[in-house]
A and B are shown apart, each in its own frame.
Chain A
Amino acid sequence: ELKVEQNPLFLSMQEGKNYTIYCNYSTTSDRLYWYRQDPGKSLESLFVLLSNGAVKQEGRLMASLDTKARLSTLHITAAVHDLSATYFCAVAAANFGNEKLTFGTGTRLTIIP
């Protein structure tokens, strides 16, 4: 069974600082996704990572994927208050036809002015 672990679970950081959220998964995967969720809201797609070594950037967020290490990172650069949210990684196992996403428990990020 595919397991997805994120750390840290909670992160409080000051504006302007850099930090990284880690997502480890237990079995071979060919697809990894990062989502943002604001309180009481649904999931907003941030990044789709489909190959080893994939790196994608949008604004102050950058995501990368190392399929050999079964690890993805979400790096936050010069954090601003608007980035406060819960971030989830989600992984689809590499079985042919597999459609199920397994989510991590999320990282609750709070940016302090």
Chain B
Amino acid sequence: DTGVSQDPRHKITKRGQNVTFRCDPISEHNRLYWYRQTLGQGPEFLTYFQNEAQLEKSRLLSDRFSAERPKGSFSTLEIQRTEQGDSAMYLCASSLDRGLSNLGYTFGSGTRLTVV
């Protein structure tokens, strides 16, 4: 297993377009998280799945954002009608046990979104 994979690595889109990102977690991890990081800031929590169930959503996740994890494996994050303020690095993380092991939470390389 090569860790948490995210695709694409970079995405440039025009304002108003829809975009979708994919995250493949470590295969045995049942928990999957999405975070957003803007320049010069720490990551901010967006949402979290345990298996296929979305158990928590941040107030940051407006109605233009939707996340799914249909079979409890990979996850997608869709942003509809993108705005310039959506430009950020979108990070996916996974864990097996609420981050209680020495590995904690493993982050992917992220998808950098630029809205022009």
Which residues from chain A sit less than 8 Å from chain B, CB to CB?
Answer: 4, 31, 33, 35, 40-45, 48, 50, 88, 90, 92, 99-106
Contacts and interface: CB of A to CB of B under 8 A. Distances in A.
Given A41-B109, A50-B100, A90 B48 contact: no
Given A99-B31, A99-B48, A100-B48, A42 B99 contact: no
A45 B106 contact: yes
Given A100-B48, A101-B105, A31 B100 contact: yes
Q: Is the interface of A mostly helix, strand, loop or mixed?
A: strand
A103 B33 contact: no
12 contacts: A31-B98, A43-B91, A45-B103, A48-B100, A48-B101, A99-B31, A100-B48, A101-B33, A101-B43, A103-B43, A105-B40, A105-B42
A88 B91 CA distance: 15
B36 to A, nearest CB: 11
Q: Kindly state the interface size class of chain B when it binds its partner.
A: 20 to 34
B42 A33 contact: no
Contacts of A104: 42
A101 B102 CA distance: 16
A50 B103 CA distance: 12
Nearest to B42: A103
Contact of A33 (B35, B45, B99, B109): B99
A99 B42 contact: no
Given A31-B100, A101-B99, 6 more contacts: A40-B112, A45-B105, A45-B106, A99-B48, A101-B35, A101-B43
